[in-house]
Amino acid sequence: MWRSLSLVIFLLLLAIRPTAAEELFQERSLYRNILVYEDQGLRCMKFGIHDGGRQTCISLRDPDSLVFNYTKMLLAALYLNPSPKQILVIGLGGGTMPTTLKKILPDVQIDCVEIDPSVVKVATRFFGFTTGAGISVNVEDGRVFVKRAQRNTKKYDLIILDAFDHVYIPEHMLTREYLTEVKTLLSKNGVLAANTFSSSRLYYSESATYADVYGAFYNLKMNNRVVLAKRDGIPSSDEIQRNAEKVEEKLRLFGTGKDWLLPLFSTDVQWPANTRVLTDQYSPANLLNGRL
């Protein structure tokens, strides 16, 4: 009897034991190690074979659902401008943001910038990302693209900064000079949405740098934090509420909405007044980057 009971328990434990992740693709590109794998109903891409963080995940059962909180928080940019026509996304990953924005705003034009051609290949092959029909990809450094767009007097209604290497944001894309260059690309009603870590050693300096360039901004924090700013100052909470109503029905299709997003909005100054701003001459990201 005890042997039978032990066997039943063993079989039950075997049945509920987490299955090992299935590796689908691995490549050492010019810039990082790229791994694509499936695990517990998710398909994910990460940079760094052993300990790199996940860059993108999609649900195999419901590809439209947004797996990461930061992707939902980035959509809160539509509360500052609910009808952008021209969008720039710097940092492609698996293409989640441009793909989602195109479904929400079918007539929008989206320029994507990704330095690593291997990432573009992986996004297309494994994560359903497609170009054409209003979505283009530029394979180059994000800051180089911004400088060229400046010369061409290009303007965007929404700019999303989501460029990470295997550890953190490249230091030349953290500085006052870079954020000022990005600001010049914003249209009159243009919105900046930047994805960063909520516990980075650079948190205070990043915050001070955004404030130096954009003034007050909305801060949304969970696992990551998202900075939302505008060229000429952030809208009032009343305007945020009205815009949230305009896009609520569409955002609900992707598992988010005003009940979840609006409580995250904050304008609290969470850094000391004497915090040093990051510049092209002072950007010690090699010493300070990464999570605490």
State the catalytic residues: 162
Residue among 136, 121, 139, 122 nearest 57 (CA): 122
Helices (H), 215-271: 237-252, 258-261
For residue 192, count CB atoms less than 10 angstroms from its CB and return exposed for 0-12, middle for 13-18, buried for 19 or more.
Answer: buried
Residue among 265, 257, 264, 258 nearest 66 (CA): 257
Tokens of 57: 């995940």
Question: Which residue reads 């939302």 in tokens?
Answer: 228
For residue 50, CA distances in Å to 53, 89, 278 come to 9, 28, 31
DSSP 17: S
Tokens of 13: 């434990």
